[in-house]
Structure 1
Amino acid sequence: MSTARPPVPAPQEPIEPQELLRLGLGAEETCLRADAARNRARLLEAAARLVAERGADGLTMEAVAVAANVGKGTVFRRFGDRTGLLSALLDHSERKLQTAFLTGPPPLGPGAPPAERLRAFGAAVLRRGVEELDLQLAAEADAGRRFVHPARRVLHQHVTLLLREAVPDADCELLAHTLMAQLDAALIHHLTRQCGMPLARLEAAWGDLVDRVTATGRAPDAVAAAGSGDGAAPAQAAGAAGAADADDLG
Protein backbone atom coordinates (compact mmCIF):
# COMPACT_ATOMS: atom_id res chain seq x y z
CA MET A 1 0.00 0.00 0.00
CA SER A 2 1.53 3.27 -1.07
CA THR A 3 1.54 6.35 1.11
CA ALA A 4 1.19 9.90 -0.06
CA ARG A 5 4.42 11.82 -0.35
CA PRO A 6 4.70 14.44 2.42
CA PRO A 7 4.50 18.02 1.19
CA VAL A 8 7.79 19.73 0.56
CA PRO A 9 8.21 22.62 3.00
CA ALA A 10 8.70 26.03 1.51
CA PRO A 11 12.08 27.62 2.23
CA GLN A 12 12.02 29.88 5.25
CA GLU A 13 13.80 32.68 3.46
CA PRO A 14 14.27 33.32 -0.25
CA ILE A 15 17.80 32.78 -1.43
CA GLU A 16 18.99 35.24 -4.01
CA PRO A 17 22.07 34.67 -6.17
CA GLN A 18 23.62 37.93 -5.04
CA GLU A 19 23.79 36.61 -1.47
CA LEU A 20 26.40 34.07 -2.46
CA LEU A 21 29.32 36.45 -2.15
CA ARG A 22 28.47 37.62 1.36
CA LEU A 23 31.05 35.82 3.46
CA GLY A 24 30.59 38.00 6.52
CA LEU A 25 33.89 39.80 6.17
CA GLY A 26 34.39 43.03 8.08
CA ALA A 27 34.36 46.49 6.56
CA GLU A 28 38.14 46.66 6.97
CA GLU A 29 38.52 43.92 4.37
CA THR A 30 36.74 45.95 1.69
CA CYS A 31 38.69 49.15 2.38
CA LEU A 32 42.20 47.84 1.91
CA ARG A 33 44.42 50.16 -0.05
CA ALA A 34 45.84 48.73 -3.25
CA ASP A 35 49.33 48.33 -1.79
CA ALA A 36 47.98 46.70 1.37
CA ALA A 37 45.93 44.31 -0.75
CA ARG A 38 49.01 43.36 -2.75
CA ASN A 39 51.01 42.79 0.43
CA ARG A 40 48.23 40.64 1.85
CA ALA A 41 48.09 38.59 -1.35
CA ARG A 42 51.87 38.13 -1.20
CA LEU A 43 51.64 36.84 2.36
CA LEU A 44 48.85 34.43 1.42
CA GLU A 45 50.80 33.15 -1.57
CA ALA A 46 53.80 32.51 0.67
CA ALA A 47 51.59 30.73 3.21
CA ALA A 48 49.99 28.60 0.49
CA ARG A 49 53.44 27.52 -0.74
CA LEU A 50 54.43 26.54 2.78
CA VAL A 51 51.28 24.46 3.23
CA ALA A 52 51.93 22.73 -0.10
CA GLU A 53 55.54 21.98 0.89
CA ARG A 54 55.18 21.17 4.60
CA GLY A 55 51.50 20.63 5.27
CA ALA A 56 49.32 22.74 7.52
CA ASP A 57 51.19 21.60 10.64
CA GLY A 58 54.33 23.26 9.27
CA LEU A 59 52.67 26.64 8.84
CA THR A 60 53.86 29.22 11.37
CA MET A 61 53.74 33.00 11.43
CA GLU A 62 57.54 33.10 11.51
CA ALA A 63 57.86 30.83 8.48
CA VAL A 64 55.45 32.99 6.49
CA ALA A 65 57.40 36.12 7.40
CA VAL A 66 60.64 34.56 6.19
CA ALA A 67 59.07 33.22 2.99
CA ALA A 68 57.49 36.61 2.19
CA ASN A 69 60.62 38.54 3.22
CA VAL A 70 58.77 40.69 5.76
CA GLY A 71 58.95 41.18 9.50
CA LYS A 72 57.07 38.79 11.75
CA GLY A 73 55.08 41.70 13.16
CA THR A 74 53.66 42.38 9.70
CA VAL A 75 52.14 38.90 9.57
CA PHE A 76 50.66 39.23 13.06
CA ARG A 77 49.21 42.67 12.31
CA ARG A 78 47.56 41.39 9.15
CA PHE A 79 46.13 38.08 10.42
CA GLY A 80 46.22 38.27 14.21
CA ASP A 81 47.33 34.69 14.85
CA ARG A 82 47.79 31.33 13.14
CA THR A 83 44.06 30.60 13.19
CA GLY A 84 43.40 33.91 11.46
CA LEU A 85 46.02 33.07 8.85
CA LEU A 86 44.44 29.67 8.17
CA SER A 87 41.02 31.28 7.85
CA ALA A 88 42.39 33.87 5.43
CA LEU A 89 43.95 31.14 3.31
CA LEU A 90 40.66 29.29 3.08
CA ASP A 91 38.82 32.52 2.34
CA HIS A 92 41.24 33.23 -0.52
CA SER A 93 40.53 29.77 -1.93
CA GLU A 94 36.76 30.17 -1.42
CA ARG A 95 36.76 33.44 -3.34
CA LYS A 96 38.44 31.80 -6.32
CA LEU A 97 35.90 28.96 -6.29
CA GLN A 98 32.99 31.38 -5.98
CA THR A 99 34.26 33.47 -8.89
CA ALA A 100 34.44 30.30 -10.97
CA PHE A 101 30.88 29.12 -10.31
CA LEU A 102 29.27 32.57 -10.28
CA THR A 103 30.90 34.25 -13.28
CA GLY A 104 33.25 31.70 -14.83
CA PRO A 105 32.71 29.71 -18.02
CA PRO A 106 30.30 26.76 -18.14
CA PRO A 107 29.76 24.08 -17.09
CA LEU A 108 30.94 25.28 -13.66
CA GLY A 109 29.75 28.82 -14.34
CA PRO A 110 26.42 30.05 -15.73
CA GLY A 111 25.22 28.88 -19.13
CA ALA A 112 25.01 25.10 -18.66
CA PRO A 113 22.01 22.99 -17.53
CA PRO A 114 21.74 22.72 -13.72
CA ALA A 115 22.69 19.03 -13.59
CA GLU A 116 25.87 19.70 -15.58
CA ARG A 117 26.72 22.60 -13.29
CA LEU A 118 26.21 20.37 -10.25
CA ARG A 119 28.56 17.75 -11.70
CA ALA A 120 31.20 20.39 -12.44
CA PHE A 121 30.76 21.99 -9.01
CA GLY A 122 31.31 18.74 -7.13
CA ALA A 123 34.34 17.85 -9.23
CA ALA A 124 35.86 21.28 -8.54
CA VAL A 125 35.24 21.01 -4.80
CA LEU A 126 36.68 17.49 -4.69
CA ARG A 127 39.83 18.55 -6.56
CA ARG A 128 40.28 21.51 -4.27
CA GLY A 129 39.65 19.28 -1.27
CA VAL A 130 42.43 16.90 -2.28
CA GLU A 131 44.86 19.73 -3.04
CA GLU A 132 44.13 21.65 0.19
CA LEU A 133 43.15 18.78 2.45
CA ASP A 134 45.55 19.52 5.32
CA LEU A 135 44.55 23.17 5.30
CA GLN A 136 40.83 22.42 5.28
CA LEU A 137 41.12 19.91 8.11
CA ALA A 138 43.22 22.30 10.20
CA ALA A 139 40.70 25.13 9.79
CA GLU A 140 37.60 22.94 10.17
CA ALA A 141 34.97 24.66 12.32
CA ASP A 142 33.67 22.88 15.41
CA ALA A 143 30.36 21.06 15.32
CA GLY A 144 28.41 24.04 16.64
CA ARG A 145 29.60 26.38 13.88
CA ARG A 146 30.22 23.99 11.01
CA PHE A 147 26.95 24.43 9.14
CA VAL A 148 26.57 28.16 9.82
CA HIS A 149 30.06 29.13 8.71
CA PRO A 150 29.66 31.75 5.94
CA ALA A 151 31.73 29.83 3.39
CA ARG A 152 29.77 26.62 4.02
CA ARG A 153 26.48 28.49 3.66
CA VAL A 154 27.58 29.97 0.34
CA LEU A 155 28.26 26.53 -1.13
CA HIS A 156 25.06 25.09 0.31
CA GLN A 157 22.99 27.94 -1.14
CA HIS A 158 24.58 27.46 -4.55
CA VAL A 159 23.75 23.74 -4.57
CA THR A 160 20.22 24.53 -3.35
CA LEU A 161 19.65 26.98 -6.21
CA LEU A 162 20.82 24.47 -8.81
CA LEU A 163 18.62 21.75 -7.32
CA ARG A 164 15.60 24.03 -7.45
CA GLU A 165 16.18 24.37 -11.17
CA ALA A 166 16.75 20.66 -11.72
CA VAL A 167 14.20 19.10 -9.32
CA PRO A 168 11.80 21.88 -8.25
CA ASP A 169 9.41 19.47 -6.49
CA ALA A 170 12.09 18.20 -4.07
CA ASP A 171 13.01 19.48 -0.62
CA CYS A 172 16.09 21.12 -2.09
CA GLU A 173 17.45 22.65 1.12
CA LEU A 174 17.73 19.24 2.80
CA LEU A 175 18.79 17.52 -0.41
CA ALA A 176 21.63 20.02 -0.76
CA HIS A 177 22.95 18.98 2.67
CA THR A 178 22.84 15.35 1.53
CA LEU A 179 24.87 16.11 -1.57
CA MET A 180 27.33 18.33 0.30
CA ALA A 181 28.08 15.49 2.72
CA GLN A 182 29.95 13.70 -0.08
CA LEU A 183 32.23 16.74 -0.44
CA ASP A 184 33.18 16.87 3.24
CA ALA A 185 36.90 17.30 3.93
CA ALA A 186 36.94 14.60 6.63
CA LEU A 187 35.32 12.12 4.24
CA ILE A 188 37.77 13.04 1.47
CA HIS A 189 40.61 12.39 3.93
CA HIS A 190 39.17 8.99 4.87
CA LEU A 191 38.54 7.88 1.29
CA THR A 192 41.76 9.11 -0.32
CA ARG A 193 44.35 8.68 2.44
CA GLN A 194 42.95 5.91 4.60
CA CYS A 195 41.17 3.87 1.91
CA GLY A 196 43.49 4.76 -0.97
CA MET A 197 40.72 5.69 -3.40
CA PRO A 198 41.79 7.78 -6.41
CA LEU A 199 40.27 11.18 -7.03
CA ALA A 200 38.80 9.93 -10.32
CA ARG A 201 36.66 7.43 -8.40
CA LEU A 202 35.30 10.15 -6.11
CA GLU A 203 34.49 12.37 -9.08
CA ALA A 204 32.71 9.51 -10.87
CA ALA A 205 30.67 8.72 -7.75
CA TRP A 206 29.68 12.36 -7.44
CA GLY A 207 28.55 12.47 -11.06
CA ASP A 208 26.54 9.28 -10.57
CA LEU A 209 24.89 10.71 -7.45
CA VAL A 210 23.92 13.92 -9.27
CA ASP A 211 22.53 11.92 -12.19
CA ARG A 212 20.38 9.79 -9.88
CA VAL A 213 19.12 12.78 -7.88
CA THR A 214 18.27 14.85 -10.95
CA ALA A 215 17.16 11.84 -13.06
CA THR A 216 19.39 12.94 -15.93
CA GLY A 217 21.57 9.86 -16.13
CA ARG A 218 24.63 8.87 -18.10
CA ALA A 219 25.66 5.60 -19.67
CA PRO A 220 26.01 3.07 -16.80
CA ASP A 221 29.07 1.49 -18.41
CA ALA A 222 30.88 4.83 -18.42
CA VAL A 223 30.13 5.44 -14.74
CA ALA A 224 31.25 1.94 -13.76
CA ALA A 225 34.47 2.19 -15.76
CA ALA A 226 35.40 5.54 -14.23
CA GLY A 227 34.29 4.75 -10.70
CA SER A 228 35.61 1.23 -10.05
CA GLY A 229 38.93 1.45 -8.29
CA ASP A 230 39.60 -2.29 -8.18
CA GLY A 231 37.55 -3.69 -11.02
CA ALA A 232 34.99 -5.16 -8.63
CA ALA A 233 31.97 -3.61 -10.34
CA PRO A 234 32.79 -4.96 -13.82
CA ALA A 235 33.56 -8.36 -12.32
CA GLN A 236 30.24 -8.42 -10.48
CA ALA A 237 28.42 -7.38 -13.64
CA ALA A 238 30.15 -10.12 -15.62
CA GLY A 239 29.28 -12.67 -12.94
CA ALA A 240 25.63 -11.64 -12.99
CA ALA A 241 25.56 -11.87 -16.78
CA GLY A 242 27.12 -15.33 -16.65
CA ALA A 243 24.54 -16.52 -14.15
CA ALA A 244 21.75 -15.20 -16.35
CA ASP A 245 23.20 -17.03 -19.37
CA ALA A 246 23.38 -20.25 -17.37
CA ASP A 247 19.73 -19.88 -16.37
CA ASP A 248 18.77 -19.36 -20.00
CA LEU A 249 20.67 -22.47 -21.04
CA GLY A 250 19.09 -24.47 -18.24
Structure 2
Amino acid sequence: MNRSVVPFGKPRGERADAVRNRERLLETAREMIAEHGVEKLTMDGLAERAGLGKGTVFRRFGTRAGIFRALLEDDERRFQERVMSGPPPLGPGADPKDRLIAYGRARIPFLLHHHAIARAAMERGGPAPESGVNLTRLHIRMLLGRTSGDMPELDSLTLQLAAALEGPLLLYLSADAPTAPPDPDTARHLVNSWQALIGCVTGRHRASPTPDEPDAVSEP
Protein backbone atom coordinates (compact mmCIF):
# COMPACT_ATOMS: atom_id res chain seq x y z
CA MET A 1 0.00 0.00 0.00
CA ASN A 2 2.85 2.32 -0.78
CA ARG A 3 0.74 4.90 -2.55
CA SER A 4 -0.35 8.45 -1.84
CA VAL A 5 -4.06 7.86 -2.20
CA VAL A 6 -5.96 4.61 -2.23
CA PRO A 7 -8.30 4.77 -5.26
CA PHE A 8 -11.93 5.38 -4.44
CA GLY A 9 -14.64 2.99 -5.50
CA LYS A 10 -14.31 -0.56 -6.75
CA PRO A 11 -11.40 -1.64 -8.96
CA ARG A 12 -12.11 -1.09 -12.65
CA GLY A 13 -12.94 -4.07 -14.76
CA GLU A 14 -14.03 -6.35 -11.91
CA ARG A 15 -17.00 -8.56 -12.64
CA ALA A 16 -20.05 -8.07 -10.49
CA ASP A 17 -19.68 -11.51 -8.93
CA ALA A 18 -16.02 -10.83 -8.11
CA VAL A 19 -16.99 -7.58 -6.39
CA ARG A 20 -19.69 -9.35 -4.39
CA ASN A 21 -17.26 -12.08 -3.36
CA ARG A 22 -14.70 -9.54 -2.23
CA GLU A 23 -17.23 -7.61 -0.16
CA ARG A 24 -18.56 -10.85 1.35
CA LEU A 25 -15.05 -11.98 2.28
CA LEU A 26 -14.12 -8.66 3.87
CA GLU A 27 -17.36 -8.49 5.82
CA THR A 28 -16.88 -12.07 6.99
CA ALA A 29 -13.26 -11.40 7.95
CA ARG A 30 -14.35 -8.46 10.10
CA GLU A 31 -16.94 -10.62 11.83
CA MET A 32 -14.37 -13.33 12.56
CA ILE A 33 -11.84 -10.82 13.90
CA ALA A 34 -14.47 -9.23 16.14
CA GLU A 35 -15.45 -12.64 17.51
CA HIS A 36 -12.11 -14.40 17.81
CA GLY A 37 -9.29 -11.91 17.19
CA VAL A 38 -6.80 -11.54 14.39
CA GLU A 39 -4.80 -14.65 15.33
CA LYS A 40 -7.70 -17.01 14.67
CA LEU A 41 -8.42 -15.84 11.14
CA THR A 42 -7.25 -18.38 8.53
CA MET A 43 -7.85 -18.67 4.81
CA ASP A 44 -9.62 -22.02 5.25
CA GLY A 45 -11.81 -20.65 8.02
CA LEU A 46 -12.66 -17.54 6.03
CA ALA A 47 -13.64 -19.56 2.98
CA GLU A 48 -15.84 -21.87 5.03
CA ARG A 49 -17.52 -19.06 6.98
CA ALA A 50 -18.17 -17.04 3.80
CA GLY A 51 -19.50 -20.07 1.93
CA LEU A 52 -16.93 -19.71 -0.86
CA GLY A 53 -14.22 -21.99 -2.20
CA LYS A 54 -10.70 -21.76 -0.84
CA GLY A 55 -9.49 -21.09 -4.37
CA THR A 56 -11.60 -17.93 -4.44
CA VAL A 57 -9.90 -16.69 -1.27
CA PHE A 58 -6.45 -17.46 -2.69
CA ARG A 59 -7.21 -15.73 -6.00
CA ARG A 60 -8.52 -12.68 -4.21
CA PHE A 61 -5.88 -12.25 -1.49
CA GLY A 62 -2.93 -14.50 -2.37
CA THR A 63 -1.81 -15.03 1.23
CA ARG A 64 -3.21 -14.70 4.72
CA ALA A 65 -1.43 -11.36 5.06
CA GLY A 66 -3.21 -10.28 1.88
CA ILE A 67 -6.54 -10.54 3.69
CA PHE A 68 -5.40 -7.99 6.25
CA ARG A 69 -3.90 -5.71 3.60
CA ALA A 70 -7.27 -5.70 1.84
CA LEU A 71 -9.01 -4.85 5.10
CA LEU A 72 -6.60 -1.97 5.69
CA GLU A 73 -7.06 -0.65 2.15
CA ASP A 74 -10.83 -0.83 2.44
CA ASP A 75 -10.89 1.00 5.78
CA GLU A 76 -8.28 3.50 4.56
CA ARG A 77 -10.49 4.32 1.59
CA ARG A 78 -13.37 5.08 3.91
CA PHE A 79 -11.17 7.24 6.10
CA GLN A 80 -9.98 9.20 3.09
CA GLU A 81 -13.54 9.80 2.00
CA ARG A 82 -14.23 11.40 5.39
CA VAL A 83 -11.17 13.63 5.00
CA MET A 84 -11.84 14.66 1.41
CA SER A 85 -15.60 15.01 1.34
CA GLY A 86 -16.94 14.55 4.86
CA PRO A 87 -18.25 17.24 7.19
CA PRO A 88 -15.86 19.79 8.73
CA PRO A 89 -13.62 20.16 10.60
CA LEU A 90 -12.17 16.84 9.38
CA GLY A 91 -13.57 17.44 5.91
CA PRO A 92 -13.39 20.59 3.77
CA GLY A 93 -14.81 23.89 4.92
CA ALA A 94 -13.07 24.51 8.24
CA ASP A 95 -10.09 26.67 9.14
CA PRO A 96 -6.87 24.82 8.13
CA LYS A 97 -5.59 24.86 11.73
CA ASP A 98 -8.81 23.28 12.92
CA ARG A 99 -8.56 20.70 10.15
CA LEU A 100 -5.00 19.81 11.19
CA ILE A 101 -6.14 19.21 14.74
CA ALA A 102 -9.21 17.30 13.58
CA TYR A 103 -7.08 15.10 11.33
CA GLY A 104 -4.97 13.97 14.25
CA ARG A 105 -8.03 13.51 16.45
CA ALA A 106 -9.45 11.12 13.85
CA ARG A 107 -6.23 9.56 12.57
CA ILE A 108 -4.75 8.50 15.90
CA PRO A 109 -7.74 6.38 17.00
CA PHE A 110 -7.93 4.94 13.48
CA LEU A 111 -4.29 3.82 13.61
CA LEU A 112 -4.58 2.39 17.11
CA HIS A 113 -7.80 0.59 16.23
CA HIS A 114 -6.02 -1.10 13.31
CA HIS A 115 -2.74 -1.92 15.02
CA ALA A 116 -3.30 -5.71 15.13
CA ILE A 117 -4.58 -5.84 11.55
CA ALA A 118 -1.60 -3.79 10.36
CA ARG A 119 0.81 -6.21 12.00
CA ALA A 120 -0.97 -9.21 10.51
CA ALA A 121 -0.73 -7.54 7.08
CA MET A 122 3.07 -7.74 7.18
CA GLU A 123 4.57 -10.47 5.01
CA ARG A 124 7.38 -12.37 6.72
CA GLY A 125 10.56 -10.41 6.17
CA GLY A 126 8.65 -7.67 4.36
CA PRO A 127 8.28 -3.99 5.22
CA ALA A 128 5.61 -2.58 7.46
CA PRO A 129 2.45 -1.54 5.62
CA GLU A 130 2.31 2.15 4.82
CA SER A 131 -1.43 2.59 4.68
CA GLY A 132 -2.20 6.28 4.34
CA VAL A 133 1.31 7.53 5.24
CA ASN A 134 1.70 9.42 1.98
CA LEU A 135 -1.83 10.79 2.26
CA THR A 136 -1.00 12.08 5.72
CA ARG A 137 2.06 13.90 4.41
CA LEU A 138 0.18 15.46 1.49
CA HIS A 139 -2.72 16.50 3.69
CA ILE A 140 -0.52 18.03 6.40
CA ARG A 141 1.55 19.92 3.84
CA MET A 142 -1.53 21.32 2.15
CA LEU A 143 -3.05 22.51 5.43
CA LEU A 144 0.21 23.92 6.77
CA GLY A 145 0.65 25.89 3.58
CA ARG A 146 -2.78 27.39 4.05
CA THR A 147 -2.17 28.44 7.65
CA SER A 148 0.60 30.83 6.65
CA GLY A 149 2.00 32.02 3.37
CA ASP A 150 5.52 32.12 4.80
CA MET A 151 5.61 28.87 6.80
CA PRO A 152 9.36 28.14 7.19
CA GLU A 153 10.83 24.81 6.12
CA LEU A 154 7.44 23.57 4.97
CA ASP A 155 8.63 20.24 3.57
CA SER A 156 10.80 19.35 6.57
CA LEU A 157 8.10 20.40 9.01
CA THR A 158 5.55 18.30 7.14
CA LEU A 159 7.81 15.26 7.36
CA GLN A 160 8.31 15.69 11.09
CA LEU A 161 4.61 16.18 11.82
CA ALA A 162 3.69 13.14 9.73
CA ALA A 163 6.27 11.11 11.66
CA ALA A 164 4.81 12.32 14.95
CA LEU A 165 1.36 11.23 13.86
CA GLU A 166 2.11 7.91 12.17
CA GLY A 167 5.24 7.06 14.18
CA PRO A 168 3.71 5.30 17.23
CA LEU A 169 2.08 2.64 15.04
CA LEU A 170 5.21 2.17 12.92
CA LEU A 171 7.27 1.68 16.09
CA TYR A 172 4.81 -0.96 17.21
CA LEU A 173 5.03 -2.74 13.87
CA SER A 174 8.83 -2.67 13.88
CA ALA A 175 9.05 -4.56 17.18
CA ASP A 176 10.43 -8.09 16.97
CA ALA A 177 7.48 -9.50 18.89
CA PRO A 178 3.91 -8.26 19.33
CA THR A 179 3.42 -5.85 22.17
CA ALA A 180 0.28 -5.41 24.22
CA PRO A 181 -2.56 -3.53 22.50
CA PRO A 182 -2.62 0.19 23.30
CA ASP A 183 -4.62 0.94 26.42
CA PRO A 184 -7.59 3.34 26.22
CA ASP A 185 -5.56 6.22 27.67
CA THR A 186 -3.03 6.02 24.84
CA ALA A 187 -5.34 7.63 22.29
CA ARG A 188 -6.23 10.44 24.67
CA HIS A 189 -2.62 11.25 25.46
CA LEU A 190 -1.56 11.13 21.81
CA VAL A 191 -4.51 13.26 20.70
CA ASN A 192 -3.81 15.88 23.36
CA SER A 193 -0.13 15.89 22.41
CA TRP A 194 -0.99 16.31 18.74
CA GLN A 195 -3.29 19.22 19.54
CA ALA A 196 -0.58 20.89 21.62
CA LEU A 197 1.99 20.31 18.86
CA ILE A 198 -0.20 21.89 16.20
CA GLY A 199 -0.88 24.79 18.54
CA CYS A 200 2.86 25.41 18.90
CA VAL A 201 3.59 25.04 15.18
CA THR A 202 0.79 27.34 14.08
CA GLY A 203 1.23 29.78 16.94
CA ARG A 204 -2.16 29.08 18.39
CA HIS A 205 -2.59 27.32 21.71
CA ARG A 206 -5.99 25.89 22.35
CA ALA A 207 -7.47 24.92 25.66
CA SER A 208 -7.75 21.29 26.65
CA PRO A 209 -10.98 19.55 25.58
CA THR A 210 -13.97 20.36 27.73
CA PRO A 211 -15.83 17.58 29.55
CA ASP A 212 -18.39 17.58 26.72
CA GLU A 213 -15.70 17.19 24.06
CA PRO A 214 -14.23 13.70 23.65
CA ASP A 215 -10.46 13.43 23.87
CA ALA A 216 -10.35 11.22 20.78
CA VAL A 217 -12.63 10.26 17.96
CA SER A 218 -13.84 6.71 18.52
CA GLU A 219 -13.70 4.26 15.67
CA PRO A 220 -17.18 3.55 14.28
TM-score range, shorter chain: 0.7 to 0.9
User: Is the CA contact 1:192–1:198 (under 8 Å) kept in the aligned structure 2?
Assistant: no
* Distance in 1, Cα, partners of 2:189 & 2:71: 27
* Distance in 2, Cα, partners of 1:74 & 1:221: 48
Alignment of 1:46 with 2:34, yes or no, is no
**Alignment length, in residue pairs?**
204
User: Is the CA contact 1:130–1:188 (under 8 Å) kept in the aligned structure 2?
Assistant: no
Bigger mean CA offset, 52-61 vs 77-86? 52-61
Q: Superposition pairs for residues 60-209 of structure 1, below 5 Å? A: 60-139=42-121, 149=130, 151-168=132-149, 169-184=151-166, 185-187=169-171, 193=181, 197-209=185-197
Bigger mean CA offset, 71-80 vs 31-40? 31-40
Residue equivalent to 1:21: 5
Residue equivalent to 1:216: 204
What per-residue deviation string (whole Å, max 9, x for no partner) do you get for residues 23-82 of structure 1?
Answer: 5x9xx9322133322221111111122233333322211121122221211111111111
What RMSD in Å do the two structures reach over aligned CA positions? 3.5
* Distance in 1, Cα, partners of 2:91 & 2:183: 32
User: Is the CA contact 1:50–1:59 (under 8 Å) kept in the aligned structure 2?
Assistant: yes
Of structures 1 and 2, the one with the larger relative CO (CA 8 A, separation 6+) is: 2
Gaps of 5+ in 2: 216-220
> Could you say which structure has the higher helix fraction?
1
User: Is the CA contact 1:146–1:152 (under 8 Å) kept in the aligned structure 2?
Assistant: no
Secondary structure of the structure 2 residue equivalent to 1:174: helix
Secondary structure of the structure 2 residue equivalent to 1:29: coil
* Distance in 1, Cα, partners of 2:26 & 2:124: 24
Gaps of 5+ in 1: 1-18, 228-250
Q: Give 1:96 shift.
A: 0.5
What per-residue deviation string (whole Å, max 9, x for no partner) do you get for residues 60-111 of structure 1?
Answer: 1112112222121111111111122221111101100110101111111100
Which amino acid is 1:210 matched to?
Answer: I
CA 1:22/1:170 → structure 2, altered by over 3 Å: closer, same or farther? farther
Residue equivalent to 1:8: none
Q: Whose radius of gyration is greater, 1 or 2?
A: 1
* Distance in 1, Cα, partners of 2:97 & 2:113: 25
CA 1:194/1:63 → structure 2, altered by over 3 Å: closer, same or farther? same
* Distance in 2, Cα, partners of 1:198 & 1:207: 14
Q: Give 1:143 shift.
A: 10
